């Protein structure tokens, strides 16, 4: 049986861990109090190290990733771009663009098939498929395009939700002008953050529309929305991007506070 390290056992980490167990792998968890160096000494050659922590915790985890594990890392975070793993010296991690939502106490809800690329893709596709969750093994360039499109969906809906609340069905009907303005801004942001990898705007917009149509009752803003806005503004400032719709939304949120 191959050993798979799962670093972070939140809702997503537990879903993947369950699928990995069902497909015959030994799951080795990394928890908050785990001595990672000692664990790496005991498990020096895992088949995969699935990093399932949140976006804000990812840089710290990658910074302390044991050398023996660095060649078999898999990532599944939102707001993920190549610079996030390249700055930590990871050349080609497995990438899982997760399109299902899992809330505590509930079943996973699928919006679109999860797209996975990289050395561990077949393993993770099999794990999700064993749970009845749609997943596909894709080429690396397709996974990068999917990452940009997923970022566009998450950021547009979360940021709009700070202003209008509600669900994505209402966003693309009653608040279409706001959605389109944010889409324009956030496509500019993703293009800058993914450079030199091109972001196909029409294709990313099409994924946004499909995701919204697949679950129109999906709430726009979750508890992470304010942090996503802060990170978006920080990226815009660092890159010198205007992002007028995002900045107007941020100012409006400040005025309402």
Domain boundaries, the chain: 3-138, 141-256
Tokens read off for 244: 């007028």
Preceding peptide of 196 cis, ω within 30° = yes
Q: pTM of the predicted model, to two decimals?
A: 0.95
Contact 180, 187 (CB under 8 A): no
Q: What are 183-204's pLDDT values in tens digits?
A: 999 999 999 999 999 999 999 9
Q: How confident is the model at residue 223 (pLDDT cuts 50, 70, 90)?
A: confident
Q: What are 79-92's pLDDT values in tens digits?
A: 999 999 999 999 89
The answer to whether residue 135 scores a pLDDT higher than 80 is: yes
Averaged pLDDT score across all residues of the chain: 95
pLDDT for the residue 105: 74
Domain 3-138 and domain 141-256 have a common topology: no
Tokens read off for 39: 């664990």
Q: How many helices (H) and strands (E) does the chain have?
A: 11, 9
> In the CATH hierarchy, which fold is given to the domain comprising 141-256?
1.10.1040
**Superfamily of chain region 3-138:** NAD(P)-binding Rossmann-like Domain (3.40.50.720)
Contacts of 14 (CB under 8 A, 6+ apart): 102
Nearest-angstrom CA–CA distance, 246 and 49: 35
Average pLDDT over residues 1-30: 96
Q: How far is CA 122 from the centre of its chain?
A: 19
């Amino acid at each position: 049986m191959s050993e798979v390290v799962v670093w972070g056992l939140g809702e997503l980490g537990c879903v993947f861990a369950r699928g990995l167990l069902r497909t015959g792998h030994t799951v080795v968890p990394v928890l908050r109090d785990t001595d990672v160096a000692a664990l790496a000494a005991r498990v020096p050659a895992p088949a995969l190290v699935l990093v399932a922590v949140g976006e804000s915790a990812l840089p710290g985890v990658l910074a302390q990733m044991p050398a023996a594990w660095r060649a078999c890392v898999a990532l599944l975070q939102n707001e993920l771009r190549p610079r996030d793993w390249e700055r930590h010296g990871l050349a080609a991690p497995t990438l899982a663009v997760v399109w299902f939502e899992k809330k505590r106490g509930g079943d996973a809800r699928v919006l679109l098939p999860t797209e996975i690329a990289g050395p561990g893709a077949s393993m993770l596709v099999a794990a999700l498929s064993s749970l009845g969750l749609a997943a596909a093994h894709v080429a690396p360039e397709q996974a990068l395009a999917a990452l940009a499109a997923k970022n566009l969906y998450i950021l547009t809906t979360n940021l709009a939700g700070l202003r209008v609340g509600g669900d994505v069905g209402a966003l693309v009907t009653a608040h279409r002008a706001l959605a389109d303005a944010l889409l324009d801004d956030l496509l500019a942001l993703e293009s800058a953050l993914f450079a030199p990898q091109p972001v196909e705007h029409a294709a990313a917009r099409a994924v946004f529309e499909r995701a919204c149509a697949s679950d129109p009752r999906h709430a726009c803003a979750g508890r992470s929305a304010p942090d996503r806005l802060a990170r978006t503004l920080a990226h815009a400032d660092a890159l010198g991007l205007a992002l007028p719709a995002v900045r107007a939304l941020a100012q409006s949120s400040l005025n309402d506070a």
